[in-house]
Amino acid sequence: VELPGCKGIWTVYHKSSRGHNADSSRMAAYDDEYHAYLIISLEARTMVLETADLLTEVTESVDYFVQGRTIAAGNLFGRRRVIQVFERGARILDGSYMTQDLSFGPSNSESGSGSENSTVLSVSIADPYVLLGMSDGSIRLLVGDPSTCTVSVQTPAAIESSKKPVSSCTLYHDKGPEPWLRKTSTDAWLSTGVGEAIDGADGGPLDQGDIYSVVCYESGALEIFDVPNFNCVFTVDKFVSGRTHIVDTYMREALKDSETEINSSSEEGTGQGRKENIHSMKVVELAMQRWSAHHSRPFLFAILTDGTILCYQAYLFEGPENTSKSDDPVSTSRSLSVSNVSASRLRNLRFSRTPLDAYTREETPHGAPCQRITIFKNISGHQGFFLSGSRPCWCMVFRERLRVHPQLCDGSIVAFTVLHNVNCNHGFIYVTSQGILKICQLPSGSTYDNYWPVQKVIPLKATPHQITYFAEKNLYPLIVSVPVLKPLNQVLSLLIDQEVGHQIDNHNLSSVDLHRTYTVEEYEVRILEPDRAGGPWQTRATIPMQSSENALTVRVVTLFNTTTKENETLLAIGTAYVQGEDVAARGRVLLFSTGRNADNPQNLVTEVYSKELKGAISALASLQGHLLIASGPKIILHKWTGTELNGIAFYDAPPLYVVSLNIVKNFILLGDIHKSIYFLSWKEQGAQLNLLAKDFGSLDCFATEFLIDGSTLSLVVSDEQKNIQIFYYAPKMSESWKGQKLLSRAEFHVGAHVTKFLRLQMLATSSDRTGAAPGSDKTNRFALLFGTLDGSIGCIAPLDELTFRRLQSLQKKLVDSVPHVAGLNPRSFRQFHSNGKAHRPGPDSIVDCELLSHYEMLPLEEQLEIAHQTGTTRSQILSNLNDLALGTSFL
């Protein structure tokens, strides 16, 4: 459905015959109740749709305000009423009939024409209260009366008397028979009755919990008030700084905390320009929520003007302050007055900051701020919040942790809401920036409690060794091995020459020993096909290996058939016979064509070629229509006639055993088990494989790959000491010994064995787009995704010179200014580990993003100070980190 100019969407419930006393069956149905109306706010009008079996527009027949845009809508009084808030007023509706109409004039104490024009900017609903943030920096509280289902407007006196302009505000409903925040106002060792006595005066029934208002001022301070009395229970002075821990300022003063004194003195010393920068920073959106789970704690989210999202989680802290206050004679008189006031304060409440994915950051456009955070409690059984905007993402809560999953499919999203009706069970609706409305459900089979959504765990009941992807047919060929028990005499007859075998049988082994069993790994190649509907993957075909034959490599290759003059896509398998060290190594190369066979429709794969060669076939690759085979100590290039593989060129490299082959155009990168890497080229004219250069060091390779950055080609290799090295070929430089030697570009200690590199095209960022052709999302830059033996995934991406210099100087500062795990130094950890071998250190031209990601978690003043020391600005650094996160967002 197309909806140009959409500003927001909301779904509301309605049931007229809803009583006060909800029995248990009703409570169970509370979550399963269907939505009744969908309210869509456009630029100059509002649409109302009924969400029954079909979405039908009922705008004309309802009493909703439809002449202008809606700011927010929700339910009040246990879902018996709907409240719709627009710029200058609000309506209370019972279904489609209006029961009350409110308009927000200037508040009583204010006078003058300026206040006449104040409109509603933000709305937060916590039954039976509604908090409104106005455009003139004031706030209004709508107080509902559940007995009459009516609402009255109040202006909180505490905020009005302070005259401090409010930048954003929200309500927090601390639900449950034991509200969480109530525990923080008393000490846990006191009887729980005290806590109830303090807060029971709020008038609300105890099982309903308490409601608090969180308010942020233009000055950057944050206060929490109880509602409806508006007594301040928690204060933070510089909330926008984004400190790692925040404490009630009032309790800090009582403690004469030294930290605040240090902070204030250091801030006075900062430059005037940076001070202005801090003052311009304010909170544009706030949200506080505690999702239902065992031992769950509230989260506090704040979005700043520059798009940074602060995420805090509350925790209970009981310090020794009670004793220290009475011991100190100076503060005794002060502590008496403190204790009177702090009885109602949340004195044991602390917040600790948790990092959010850098991907969520975006510059907020100047103009009317739109609400980006939409909290959901049940979308396909998941809870969390959705972040709309130019980089929409899902933040789901699992086991008190936030998992951030970017939604990359539809670009920018302007509005989002949950929808639960007959046809869309616990689903959601969103509107894209193009104005297209989509009704969706989350895929049921996926697990989201992970860094990435895990779609399927596929039980193989075997050990996987290597996997490749066949894009044309959407198939995954996979090498697996299964342990099989075999009698010992059968195993011996396979391994040893028959005559010798009999002698061994007679002399050394008794008949009892010969009938014992021995475990042998039997190899096969399985062809798996993923199910489009998200069901279990199907094994479409199985290619068994011969006894004592190990499949070493499987690749999808494109070969040029010299007979038909056409390209053929085939599945190539390289194997080796493992028969002990007395027998010369042999291996087979197998070629299979895939496709339904007319004679035998069950057969997905058909063997088109098989040949035994000397040496193990450890690596295969297709090079410009030819097949390159690494067999034993040499590599041979073959052409394909349709029935035969004929050798046309070979290279007798000194390698012992090739672990990987990579091809780009006519260049070959070869990694050897002990002799590092070789860089070769293929010339069609003389049918020659030429060695261009090699690394003369001894390196135990694990994996190799080409890294492409525009026209620059680099060679990446990982080794047995858990390092990654990047080499380049520069024949004109004197150090390269007339081009024989590969030169080092960078080196880095990963700390895990890297066994596979995957080259992926980087996505265009805002800085790339300016120079590129309009509408092109691709760049000529590639990053390498790598997997390690300890189960981690990492990424290496190229940077331009200027960004690199900036981030490198930032990295040097962060080594000193960030507290490291166990006080370990990241710089020494990332040094190349050579295990005692002679190694000439390479250039320091790689930055560690794991360390750089700590920059955003530093307090704002420290970020500005470090940026100033490195000769750049905070926004420039964040923009660079942002572009990097965006360029590699294929993760």
pLDDT tens readout for residues 318-366: 766 543 333 333 333 333 344 445 567 888 899 999 988 767 777 655 5
Alpha helix locations (H) across 772-848? 801-817, 826-829
Q: What share of the chain is helix, strand, coil (3-state, %, to 5)?
A: 20, 40, 40
What is the rounded distance in angstroms from the CA atom of residue 77 to the CA atom of residue 67?
26
What is the rounded distance in angstroms from the CA atom of residue 400 to the CA atom of residue 354?
11
Return the structure tokens found at 215: 């308010």
pLDDT at 604: 84
Return the structure tokens found at 448: 């989201």
Q: Which residues contact 600 (CB under 8 A, 6 or more apart)?
A: none
- Percentage of the chain beyond pLDDT 90 is 44
Q: Count CB atoms within 10 A of the CB of residue 344.
A: 16
Alpha helix locations (H) across 256-371? 258-269, 272-280, 321-327, 332-342
What is the rounded distance in angstroms from the CA atom of residue 602 to the CA atom of residue 228?
72
Q: Where are the domains of the chain?
A: 156-355, 457-649, 719-891
What is the rounded distance in angstroms from the CA atom of residue 719 to the CA atom of residue 102?
71
Q: What is the pLDDT of residues 747-793, one digit of tens each?
A: 999 999 999 999 999 988 766 554 444 445 667 899 999 999 999 99
Return the structure tokens found at 713: 């080609």
For residue 869, give the 3-state DSSP assignment: helix
What is the rounded distance in angstroms from the CA atom of residue 66 to the CA atom of residue 71?
12
Burial class (CB in 10 A: 0-12, 13-18, 19+), 796: buried
35 has a pLDDT exceeding 60: yes
Q: Give the residue from 255, 418, 406 showing the smallest Cα distance to 339.
A: 255
Alpha helix locations (H) across 281-347? 321-327, 332-342
The mean predicted confidence, pLDDT, of the chain is 83
Q: How confident is the model at residue 116 (pLDDT cuts 50, 70, 90)?
A: low
Question: 247-256, 258-267, 741-750: which range is least confident on average?
Answer: 258-267
pLDDT at 509: 65
Are residues 582 and 517 in contact, defined by beta-carbon separation less than 8 angstroms? Answer: no
Are residues 548 and 520 in contact, defined by beta-carbon separation less than 8 angstroms? Answer: yes
Long-range contacts made by residues 684-690, C-beta under 8 angstroms, separation at least 24? 684/624, 687/648, 687/649, 688/649, 689/635, 689/637, 689/649, 689/650, 689/651
Return the structure tokens found at 703: 């994996």
Are residues 241 and 859 in contact, defined by beta-carbon separation less than 8 angstroms? Answer: yes
What is the rounded distance in angstroms from the CA atom of residue 122 to the CA atom of residue 283?
13
Q: Which residues contact 786 (CB under 8 A, 6 or more apart)?
A: 703, 718, 724, 754, 756, 757, 758, 793, 794, 795, 796
pLDDT at 22: 45
Are residues 72 and 85 in contact, defined by beta-carbon separation less than 8 angstroms? Answer: yes
What is the rounded distance in angstroms from the CA atom of residue 399 to the CA atom of residue 297?
11
Q: Which residues contact 436 (CB under 8 A, 6 or more apart)?
A: 1, 2, 3, 410
Are residues 93 and 82 in contact, defined by beta-carbon separation less than 8 angstroms? Answer: yes
What is the rounded distance in angstroms from the CA atom of residue 121 to the CA atom of residue 87?
7
Strands 245-247 and 232-236: unpaired
DSSP 8-class letter at 852: H
Mean pLDDT of 539-560: 94
Are residues 679 and 729 in contact, defined by beta-carbon separation less than 8 angstroms? Answer: yes
pLDDT at 263: 44
pLDDT at 607: 92
Chosen CATH of 457-649 out of 3.40.50.2000, 3.40.50.300, 2.130.10.10, 2.60.120.10: 2.130.10.10
What is the rounded distance in angstroms from the CA atom of residue 407 to the CA atom of residue 394?
7
Q: Give the residue from 163, 166, 297, 293 showing the smallest Cα distance to 220.
A: 166
Residues 423, 424, 429, 434, CA torsion sign: negative
Using alpha carbons only, give the angle 642, 645, 651 rounded to the nearest 5 degrees. Answer: 145
Are residues 121 and 135 in contact, defined by beta-carbon separation less than 8 angstroms? Answer: yes
Its pTM stands at 0.85
Strands 712-719 and 81-86: unpaired
835 has a pLDDT exceeding 90: no
Query: How would you label 632-652 residue by residue, b for 16+ Cβ within 10 Å and e otherwise?
Result: bebbbbbbbeeeebeeebebe
What is the rounded distance in angstroms from the CA atom of residue 335 to the CA atom of residue 333?
6
29 has a pLDDT exceeding 50: yes
Helix or strand (DSSP H, E) at 877: helix 874-887
pLDDT at 317: 85
Q: Give the residue from 108, 109, 67, 114 showing the smallest Cα distance to 91.
A: 67
Tell me the CA distances in angstroms from 351 to 301, 315, 444, 669, one per residue in order: 11, 6, 34, 52
What is the rounded distance in angstroms from the CA atom of residue 306 to the CA atom of residue 92?
36
What single letter denotes the amino acid at residue 406?
P
Burial class (CB in 10 A: 0-12, 13-18, 19+), 774: exposed
Tell me the CA distances in angstroms from 97 to 50, 88, 555, one per residue in order: 14, 20, 67
Question: Whose structure tokens read 């104040």?
Answer: 118
Beta bridge partners of 403: 396
Q: Give the residue from 706, 105, 722, 75 showing the smallest Cα distance to 417.
A: 75
How many residues appear in the chain? Answer: 891
Q: Compute CA 398 distance to the chain's CA centroid, rounded to the nearest angstrom.
A: 14
What is the rounded distance in angstroms from the CA atom of residue 395 to the CA atom of residue 382?
10
Phi, psi dihedrals of residue 634, rounded to the nearest 5°: -140, 160
Question: Whose structure tokens read 């990963």?
Answer: 750
Q: Compute CA 796 distance to the chain's CA centroid, rounded to the nearest angstrom.
A: 17
386 has a pLDDT exceeding 50: yes
Question: Whose structure tokens read 């012992």?
Answer: 656
Question: 65-74, 191-200, 494-503, 553-562: which range is least confident on average?
Answer: 191-200
Are residues 325 and 338 in contact, defined by beta-carbon separation less than 8 angstroms? Answer: yes
pLDDT at 188: 52
What single letter denotes the amino acid at residue 746?
A
Query: How would you label 686-716 residue by residue, b for 16+ Cβ within 10 Å and e otherwise?
Result: eeebeeebbbebebbbbbbbbbbbeeebbbb
Q: What is the pLDDT of residues 149-208, one digit of tens each?
A: 888 888 888 887 888 889 899 999 988 777 888 888 875 555 344 333 333 333 333 347
Q: Count CB atoms within 10 A of the CB of residue 671.
A: 29
Tell me the CA distances in angstroms from 227 to 201, 212, 236, 301, one per residue in order: 11, 5, 18, 20
Q: Count CB atoms within 10 A of the CB of residue 98.
A: 16
Mean pLDDT of 397-412: 88
Question: Whose structure tokens read 């075909």?
Answer: 541
Q: Give the residue from 375, 367, 198 showing the smallest Cα distance to 300.
A: 375
For residue 553, give the 3-state DSSP assignment: strand
Q: Greater confidence, 77 or 654?
A: 77
pLDDT at 203: 36
What is the rounded distance in angstroms from the CA atom of residue 205 to the CA atom of residue 146?
12
Are residues 666 and 683 in contact, defined by beta-carbon separation less than 8 angstroms? Answer: yes
What is the rounded distance in angstroms from the CA atom of residue 475 to the CA atom of residue 459?
17
Q: What is the pLDDT of residues 633-644, one digit of tens each?
A: 889 999 999 999
What is the rounded distance in angstroms from the CA atom of residue 40 to the CA atom of residue 66?
10
Helix or strand (DSSP H, E) at 768: helix 766-771
pLDDT at 336: 36
What is the rounded distance in angstroms from the CA atom of residue 198 to the CA atom of residue 49?
45
Question: 184-188, 540-544, 551-555: which range is least confident on average?
Answer: 184-188
pLDDT at 846: 94
